[in-house]
Amino acid sequence: MTRLKLGMVGGGQGAFIGAVHRIAARIDGRFELVAGALSSNPERAAVSAAELGIAADRSYASYEEMAVAEA
């Protein structure tokens, strides 16, 4: 089965609901988290991305930036 690539907006360090969404995606097994705009603070976004195994070049400071880069 081909897994759908997932980009997450929000849900970085300290965000409760982001973890819930990631757990649900992992349980489903059909998704792979590959990008994220995990915080409006670029430094916190980068730390969260690293903790989640997202490549540094796929960590974004805004959803707009992520949408343009990942489209």
**Domains along the chain with CATH numbers:** 4-70 (3.40.50.720)
Identity of the residue numbered 61 = A
Which residue from 10, 37, 33 is spatially nearest to 22, judged by alpha carbons? 33
Q: Give every CB contact of residue 43 below 8 A, 6+ residues apart in sequence.
A: none
Question: pLDDT tens for residues 12-71?
Answer: 988 889 989 999 989 988 999 999 999 989 999 999 999 999 999 999 999 999 999 999
Which residue from 63, 57, 56 is spatially nearest to 11, judged by alpha carbons? 63
What predicted TM-score, i.e. pTM, was given to this entire model? 0.85
Decide: helix, strand or coil at residue 60.
coil
Where do the H-state alpha helices sit in the chain? Answer: 16-28, 42-51, 63-70
